[in-house]
Amino acid sequence: MTQRQEIAIDGVVVIVTMALLIVTIFGARGVVREFLALGFVAFVPGWALLDHVELARGTGKVALAVVLSLSLAIAATSGMLWAHEWRPMFLLFAAVASSVVAVGWHLVELRKVSLR
């Protein structure tokens, strides 16, 4: 996967994340919100983490992002349930914030590398 492709995926990740945040804050309901949430939970947190860890390249990185995202979601929700602190909106906003920070940091690093 080229650097340009990674930047494009990072851009899509940020767009999906911000769109989900906006529809959630404004209380929108329906299929659009459900698909945004599914896309976010199934891909974004894993991709944000893999931007900083070189475990896979190419399409393997995309597949690993899905597995990692779903694993993180399961671990976080299981932990909340075991602690009897079920707060899905808190979990969503924490995942959104950490993902945006991680992807933004990666984009800044890529920009620094391209300027050299």
79 pLDDT more than 80:
yes
In this prediction the pTM is 0.86
Specify the higher pLDDT residue, 4 or 75.
75
Q: In the structure, what pLDDT confidence band is assigned to residue 80 with cuts at 50, 70 and 90?
A: very high
How many domains is the chain partitioned into structurally? 1
Going 77 to 107 to 1 to 40, the CA torsion angle's sign is: positive
Nearest to 109 by CA among 5, 2, 7, 1: 7
What whole-number percentage of the chain has pLDDT above 90? 72
Mean pLDDT of the chain: 91
The pLDDT tens digits of the residues spanning 11-61 come to 999 999 999 999 999 999 999 999 999 999 999 999 999 988 877 777 888
Structure tokens at 91: 């979990």
- 5: confidence class by pLDDT, cuts 50, 70, 90: confident
Domain that holds residue 31: 3-115
